[in-house]
Amino acid sequence: MKKQIFKGVGTAIVTPMKEDFSIHYSVFEDLLDMQIAGGADAILVAGTTGESATLTDEEHIELIRHAVRHVKGRIPVIAGAGSNNTAHAVYLSKECEKAGADALLHVTPYYNKTSQQGLFLHFTECAKSTKLPIILYNIPSRTGVNICPATYKRLSETENIVAVKEASGNFSQIAKIASLCKEDLTIYSGNDDQITSSLALGGKGVISVLSNLIPNETHAICTSYFEGNHEESDHLQLKYLELIEALFLDVNPIPLKQAMRAMGYDVGPCRLPLCNMDNTMAEKLYAVLEKYNLTEASKHTHSDAW
């Protein structure tokens, strides 16, 4: 059995920006502390939610280095290291390891895409370049390519490929992965609206967007399930479904950053080409935040409707 990187909630943390779009490191430190205090079991830095696509390599590595220094081993720091260029993914893997990351997240190659054999070769090259454990990231809606269960099985035979963030939304596929790979590949949900369903198929947690807002409650969805209280886990999953849906009214992390600003976190804007939601969408988001008593104003004027 391979060692698990974490069990529970890994927060895919935002990268806070100043108004000039430079990284706001002091706010980043505050967010890391908030996540740890809120029960996050791991932190994913420079993932999709962290706007990795618009970070320079220098910013990317410094962000990892900064997180490692600040977290000081309290929870694992997982570094986004994926690329659609295998040589670049290898480079990022080596640099993130030097920066002190505890594990790596590698997304499937996007845009140029590849065959299943190409996926196998790509991830194998990444794995050979580092001693760190690797989480594969399957999100066909963004990349246009899916890791098939048979390919997962081949990849799980590589010692340091230890887990997958499955965001295909295909439960038949998740079940097949669990059946084929068993203890050789830990499954994490990549979708906040499917945490309990993934846990029911043997998943060990979630790599989460939602937990940027409510780490304690997202953590509780997992822990209540692990403790055998499946009814409570299901209740919490459904309780926060509307909030989860609101966070995906536009491309992630646009709604998330707007929600966090409404909650009083100085996370700043997204870098272009991501821009603010239009007013209609934003009003829908803010209405949901009010319903959950999450905005600064609502905390002073409403009681918890739940």
Binding-site residues for pyruvate, in ranges, read: 49, 207
Q: How far apart are CA 304 and CA 306, in angstroms?
A: 5
Rama region for 39: left / alpha / beta (φ>0; ψ in -120 to 50; rest): left
Count how many Cα atoms sit within 13 Å of the Cα of residue 3 in the half-sphere of its side chain: 7
Question: Could you tell me which residues come within 8 angstroms of residue 300 by beta carbon, excluding any fewer than 6 positions away?
Answer: none
**Tokens for 56?**
């320079």
Q: How many CB atoms lie within 10 A of CB 296?
A: 12
The separation between the first and the last C-alpha atoms of the chain, rounded to the nearest angstrom, is 41
Question: How far is C-alpha 241 from the geometric centre of its chain's CA atoms?
Answer: 17
Longest dimension (CA), the chain: 57
Residues annotated as catalytic (active site), given as ranges? 137, 165
Query: Is 269 in contact with 255 (CB distance < 8 Å)?
Result: no
